[in-house]
Chain A
Amino acid sequence: MSEPLLDVVDLHVGFRIFEGYLSVLNGVRLAVDAGERVGLVGETGCGKTTTVKSILRVLPMPPARVTGGRIDYRGRDVLTMRRREVQALRRRELTAIFQDPLQSLNPVFTIGTQLRDIVRDSAVGQGTRLSRRAVEARCIDALRETGMPDAERIMTNYPIQLSGGMRQRVCIAEALSTNARLLLADEPTTNLDVTIQDQILRKLDALVDEHNASVVMITHSMGVVRDLTQRANIMYAGSIVETGETRKLLEDPKHPYTQGLMASVPKLTGEGISEGIPGRIPNYLDPPGGCRFHPRCVHRMEICSVEPPPFFEIGNAHRAACYLYQEET
């Protein structure tokens, strides 16, 4: 097999704040192959967005600091690239959709202005200069692709004139108009209603197929991951605790955190809801040593508070960072 498109290795990122040092990412490992769809699932504050921002190198530094690890994109470390190279990378290869389209769209420019800028700029990045007419045509195509009914009119509108679903479609159009290879989608449908979410995700799915891009789908919804991705990574308090083929992982979760999470998701079968996971996510100022989940874990052992667990193979590319599976390796 060829080397992965994106390979995040043992990434440590922290933030220096007034009260001290928040060590947020604690050895994140994440690999994405070309054409693959990977899900990154976790609850609020587990470091999903920090991971994405590190990959895009848009974290404000300071206060953020990368204290270890690598982010290899096609064999080159993004973290050590020069600014110019990163910009070229963002123009040509990487693209992102964020949770709140109102914050990622500029309120004082029309959709057309913003979309044209992106198309023109990324074309320059890819070494071609487009005529004004070609830019216009591509923008309208990009909007139409997302299922927007009246693309010409939308181009002259401001973001506030559109509904939430339409705005997110614009963001998807912007992200996909550049023919990027890797799409980072950070909770793209969290703010939307389910019927609209369904539309947007289906559209995104079809477009990604068409453009043959890879996707990292970040979400807290297990259902969305199940529908859209091939491989899932479960994140807790700054590290990946379990990774595996999505359907198998959700059917038979191994890590105690994943098990607790799956039991807490309300189901249509109506069998009631479990009590959830006791306690809450640790304080990053002073995270627990060893496995960061151990204070909340029901299977806690002595070693858990001492040494952070490495990944243990459970079979079929299914791995869990938990000492329960130590013998099996």
Chain B
Amino acid sequence: MTADRILDIENLVKHFPTKRGVVRAVDDISLFVASGDTLGLVGESGSGKTTTAQCVVGIYPPTSGRIAFEGNPIDVAFSRRPKELKRKIRIVFQDPGSSLNPKRTIKQILSVPLKVHGIGTPRDRLGIMSRLLETVELPPTEYLYKHPQSIGGGEKQMVAIARALATNPRFVVLDEPTSALDVSVQGKIINLLMRLGEELDLTYLFITHDLSLMRNVATRVAIMYLGKLCEIARTEEFFRSPKHPYTRMLLSSIPVVTDQEESLKPEKIVSRGEIPSPVDVPPGCSFHLRCPERMPICSDVDPAMRAMDDGRFVRCHLYEPG
């Protein structure tokens, strides 16, 4: 069972103490990613999806809980992580405009991971970089000596992907890789990522707030709300019959473009209320203030994550046995 799990997160907690109180960015989540899978982590802003990813990559050490990669615990500070781990786990950020150094050429940007990890001799690095650009479908002769600002947003994101792939990773975290881009460009990037995933045998943790996109790329979907997971399921089952009330609210709120899609949405659940601040999380189930199926127990007891028959996990009192 655990053999094919490339990433295993158990009871991960990340709190940020601030002057106004403790921000519970990630509050006790457990999930695993199987090798070769694409796990879609979906949630609204402030739900803690980026913090989760950053704990995996090592940008923050977790407050408590365990993260294991290929069976080995990796929940130490970034400076104490073995370099080999940094080679295997890579990240692509949301906004390529700010994740690429504007003063460097693309060649300089791509050479950093190669130098750090000692890949190739200085002489054959140019060849490696050209091949990297070719894998992301950018002609190297044209792009190697350009600066990020002189290329389009989609192309910048391609460069960011090439940089992530430079160290031949096993696991790539994609933190909203297409949210800053237009839909006509998004298609190309997504298809490229999916093709590379298969060719290079990559496992993705794909973070997004776009459920329609998730339907097309993820093999499993996890929904986050206020630092906690609501539901994890395989993509088809997830979209066929969403269980958690929040998931249903989310699905019924997305604007769609065809009648066929409209018929796939669950019955309309009127969205109400605001997302509470993660500093001041409501007691009990954090969603109960906005929940259409609230019960008395919801405001007192926080439900536990429960495994259902079909490999699905739901965290809601509606599905408690008895």
Q: Hey, which bits of chain A sit against chain B, CB under 8 A?
A: 43-44, 163, 165-166, 193-199, 202, 220-224, 226-227, 250-251, 260-277, 280
Contacts and interface: CB of A to CB of B under 8 A. Distances in A.
Contacts of A202: 270
Interface stretch (B122-130, B250-258, B311-319): B250-258
A221 B256 CA distance: 9
28 contacts: A163-B274, A194-B211, A194-B253, A196-B271, A199-B271, A221-B255, A222-B257, A223-B254, A226-B257, A227-B255, A250-B258, A251-B259, A261-B183, A264-B186, A265-B257, A266-B215, A267-B256, A267-B261, A268-B212, A268-B261, A269-B215, A269-B264, A270-B235, A270-B239, A273-B213, A273-B216, A274-B187, A276-B188
B152 interface: yes
Given A270-B215, A273-B186, 20 more contacts: A193-B45, A193-B275, A194-B44, A194-B254, A195-B44, A196-B271, A221-B255, A222-B257, A223-B255, A226-B256, A226-B257, A250-B257, A251-B258, A264-B184, A267-B257, A268-B256, A268-B261, A268-B265, A270-B216, A273-B187
B142 interface: no
Interface in B32-80: 44-45
Contacts of A275: 187-188, 191
B216 A44 contact: no
B317 to A, nearest CB: 21
Contacts of A269: 215, 258, 260-261, 264
A221 B254 CA distance: 11
B93 to A, nearest CB: 19
Contacts of B154: 280
B185 A280 contact: yes
Contact of A276 (B185, B239, B253, B264): B185
A220 B190 CA distance: 19
B7 interface: no
B271 A267 contact: no
B215 A195 contact: no
B169 to A, nearest CB: 24
A273 B253 CA distance: 21
Interface string B258-290: 111100110000111011000000000000000
B239 to A, nearest CB: 7
A263 B188 CA distance: 12
A268 B257 CA distance: 10
Q: A199, A263, A267 — which one has the most chain B CB atoms within 10 A of its CB? A: A267
Contacts of A194: 44, 209, 211, 250, 253-254
B191 A273 contact: yes
